Amino acid sequence: KNQVEQSPQSLIILEGKNCTLQCNYTVSPFSNLRWYKQDTGRGPVSLTIMTFSENTKSNGRYTATLDADTKQSSLHITASQLSDSASYICVVSSWANNFGNEKLTFGTGTRLTIIP
C-alpha cells in the first residue's frame, strides 16, 4: 500500500530560525515528489516538484531534498518568517493505469508555527 509519512506532526520555532521537515514514503512506481504549503483555511500551494533524478531543489528560502534510494525527502526552511506558519504537505506521485495515469499520495502534513 502506498504511504507517505511526515514528521514531526507539529513544530514550533522562533522567527528567524531554520527548520527541517521530514517525509518518508513507500510509493511505487515513483514518478515525482512534491511539497505543498497550506495556509489555514486555504488550499495547498505547490512549493517544489522533484523527479527521480533531482536530489535538491530550491524555491526562495525553501529547499527540498530527495533521496530516492532511501525513499526520504526533507524540506528545509531558512530564516523563518511569521508567514511561514502553515501546514506543509509531502505528496508522492506514482504512475497508474487509472486516476488519469498519475496517482498522488498525500501525507498528513507537518503543522509549523513561527513565533515572534
Partner 1 sequence: DAGITQSPRYKITETGRQVTLMCHQTWSHSYMFWYRQDLGHGLRLIYYSAAADITDKGEVPDGYVVSRSKTENFPLTLESATRSQTSVYFCASSVTTGGNHNEQFFGPGTRLTVL
List the grid coordinates of 75: 524540506
Residue of 39, 40, 84, 105 lying closest to 76 (CA atoms): 84
Cα distance between residue 75 and residue 46, in whole Å: 13
Query: Judged by CB under 8 A, which stretch of 11-19, 44-52, 59-67, 68-76 contacts partner 1?
Result: 44-52
Query: Judged by CB under 8 A, which stretch of 16-24, 57-65, 67-75, 93-101 contacts partner 1?
Result: 93-101
CB atoms near residue 105 (< 10 Å): 16
Binding pattern for the stretch 8-37 against partner 1, x by CB under 8 A and - elsewhere: -----------------------xx-x---
Q: Give me the residues that bind partner 1 (CB under 8 A), please.
A: 4, 31-32, 34, 41-46, 49, 51, 89, 91, 95, 98-109
